Amino acid sequence: MHKQNAFSEPKLQEHGMGIMVLAFCMLFSWIFLHRLKQRNAKGPKTWPFVGAAIEQLMNYDRMHDWLAEYFAQSRTVVVPMPFTTYTYIADPANVEHVLKTNFNNYPKGEVYHSYMEVLLGDGIFNADGELWRKQRKTASFEFASKNLRDFSTVVFREYSLKLSEILSQASYSNQQVDMQELLMRMTLDSICKVGFGVEIGTLAPNLPDNLFAKAFDTANIIVTLRFIDPLWRIKKFFNLGSEVILDQSIKTVDDFTYSVIRRRKAEIDNARGYNKDDKIKHDILSRFIELSKDPENNMSDKSLRDVVLNFVIAGRDTTATTLTWAIYMIISHKDVAHKLYSELKSFEEDRAKEENVSFDMCHTEDQESFNQRVAQFAGLLNYDSLGKLYYLHAVVTETLRLYPAVPQDPKGILENDVLPDGTEVKAGGMVTYVPYSMGRMEYNWGPDAASFKPERWLKDGIFQNASPFKFTAFQAGPRICLGKDSAYLQMKMALAILCRFYKFQLVPGHPVKYRMMTVLSMEEGMKLIVSKR
């Protein structure tokens, strides 16, 4: 009996070793065949279990350019990940299919909603179905209001002039400025005034710290990282790492937001009983607060909080980042700077003749006189007059083509589908259209696609639109951006004043590259030297 056991034990070990070798060979063969199948595929390298996560993580800081490199080879790029598959699209036909033709099959989806819920909640940018439709209907009514447009024009002019005063002081004292930070302050103050009727004063001359703005940026960065971090749910469950910082940031954001809502509600309640016409509030939050009083709308303070934060990300970050890239493009293209200045100067001279006033510049004027002259020019700028500055409009639009505020926008997939180019997409995956890459593709814009060329938007000096499925900076279809006109109004108001009265120079050696967030902001800001024209 003992001899049989002694004989059988090595046999069992040898048998076990054989199974291990066979398993290893099968695994190796599987990986080899997987890689062989991938050899001629147009897209990132994928591996069993982890998909393309390794290559994507290695390129995370330059993901938009990484995708653009693959889009130059193929109009559709498939990126398998451990728990889902991303299908990235840059062909206008595919984009139209997703954003319009088969719109109902491509909602924001549960995956996107779960990633962004902590920041955006059930707001308009993170909602689907009836909840989204109700919010959009209300917001659409507000953005179509002449009262809101007129109110916005006054506010955008006011804060553009506040920014000009800061730049004027910097030019007199030879101080460098971080233009991105200043623009973020300007747009935050503006959206809080237009959206919520409150003055928060981040663009005050002493540039006070703003905990809300910092916390909002931190939260934005962390929720964006969730899209490629398969461990974020584990970190959230155990309260570890970035998820701890996210919780702290959201608390700061919520404290500010709920205080704004309480303040606005109190003001509205206090106004009751007075002459109604004198107390009309044109801000967006007031409209939603009034709607919340109807039980059928089922709007809580949490719903109002989501409204506030969705409009902040829409009205602050996107506008400020576009203005930052526009100024960088103007600095980098002297011919564009000259043409833009010429248009603004001609506009000023024509209006001076019409009104029989003088806008002549005195180079020895003091700072107060200079600021008065800027304010005089700003008074000429309104919705209608800005609409006639076609080259200015083309500069903003060309900036958005190459540096879209939202560089990529993912959608969920409800049911299996086939895109117009034949690509099959599976239910539960994600389809992402990529405005950053679309603007750089020669098959969309011709051989000069990578060049900054505002003239491409002009025909006989008049601005010409492109298809929203080709120029996707404002999305397209049923979800097309409601705030497009408002965004253009603020951007053109600010740029008209800045480019008429200032020259900008990038601080030597300052790095310019984007930061991975839901919006295309500059990672190190934009440090400039400012001088008066």
The DSSP result for 117-145, as a single string, is: HHHHTTSTTT--HHHHHHHHHHHHHHHT-
List CB contacts of 467: < 8 A, sequence separation 6 or more. 92
Token code pair at residue 337: 């700077």
Please tell me the number of Cα atoms within 13 Å of 53 on its side-chain side: 17
Selection from 445, 353, 525 nearest residue 90 by Cα: 445
Rounded to whole angstroms, the Cα distance separating 32 from 370 reads 71
481 annotated as a binding-site residue: yes
* Rounded distance between C-alpha atoms, residue 523 and residue 517, angstroms: 10
Which residues, listed in sequence order, are joined to residue 505 by a DSSP beta bridge?
Answer: 529
Strand 430-433 relative to strand 85-89, pairing: parallel
Q: Which of 436, 440, 410 is nearest to 425 (CA)?
A: 410
Residue pair 425/431 in contact by the 8 Å Cβ criterion? yes
With tokens 């916005």, the residue in question is: 152
**Structure-token pair, residue 459:** 């025909």
Amino acid letter for position 415? E
3-class SS at 471?
coil
* Core vs surface per residue 206-226: b (16+ CB within 10 A) or e: eeeebebbebbbbbbbbbbbb
Q: Tell me which residue of 259, 310, 266, 262 sits closest to 284, measured CA to CA.
A: 310
Q: What angle do CA 380, 385, 386 make, to 5 degrees?
A: 100
User: DSSP secondary structure string, 219-239?
Assistant: HHHHHHHGGG-TTHHHHHHTT
CA distance 135 to 412: 20
With 0-12 / 13-18 / 19 or more C-beta atoms within 10 angstroms meaning exposed / middle / buried, residue 18 is exposed
For residue 388, give the 3-state DSSP assignment. Answer: coil
Widest CA span of the chain, in angstroms?
120
Binding residues: 481
Binding residues for heme: 481
